[in-house]
Chains A and B, each alone.
Chain A
Amino acid sequence: MKLSQVVKLTKGKILCGDEQLESDLGQAFSSDLMSDVLTLGLTDILLITGLVNLQVIRTAEMADIKHVLLVRNKTVSEDIIELAKSSGICLIHSPVSMFKASGELYHAGLKPIY
């Protein structure tokens, strides 16, 4: 699935990394627990989370995750966007819930990790 389709299906808005709109994604993982994200051992996934802080970006950076979808219409501070930019991470902001985002993307063919 193209990242542009993720944006469309979740009524999202790209906060940074719009040069990655044509990236292809195969799998996604939804979690607010960064400890779980760090156990995955897979790269090139879409992380769907309602947790919005600097540690989400750091976690994505360490885990080689380049695409993060922030759900539940959270306020995203400028320092988070700046850190994502400097780490080469594409951030998408979405007003929908984690359940709805996950459901829409799964329905459209994005696969779970397990």
Chain B
Amino acid sequence: MKLDYEIKGGDFASAGSASSQVKKVLARLNLDPKLVRKTVVALYEAEVNVVAHAWSGQISVDIDPSRIIISIKDKGPGIASIDRAMEKGYSTASQKVRDMGFGAGMGLPNIKNNTDKMSISSVIEEGTHLQFENYIR
């Protein structure tokens, strides 16, 4: 099963709506609620990241019997140092993002904690591609 969603950069009112739709689909598939929660927490963190930092983004979700693969590709400023972005507490978020309850430099580490496999690549002034997988056991 494949699902695709668009994300608009800066659209804080809609941030999380794609994750919410994915959660409803995963819940209908009768998957382990813990797996569903971990997957949508990771996706929601990623969706908030795109809204907070990028200009636009695309989410694609691929569910097969053994795993959930999620790809989040954005057009945006890119990440100057992925190593630093993976450090807990490092953030380049604006005050607006912090006012929303985010921007504490915990997003990417938390995505890692909630996924079985994660990879990230980024090109400055072009965008970032985050991909992660959770195995269905």
Contacts and interface: CB of A to CB of B under 8 A. Distances in A.
A55 B123 CA distance: 28
Nearest to B100: A55
Interface of B: 12-13, 15-16, 19-20, 23, 33, 37, 40-41, 44-45, 48, 100-104, 106-107, 110, 113
A62 B113 CA distance: 15
A87 B40 CA distance: 14
Contacts of B41: 38, 62-63
Report whether over half of chain B's contact residues are helix, strand or loop; otherwise say mixed: helix
Interface of A: 32-39, 43, 51, 53-56, 58-59, 61-64, 79, 87
Contacts of B103: 35
Nearest to A56: B101
Nearest to A38: B41
B102 A34 contact: yes
Contact of B20 (A32, A37, A51, A58): A58
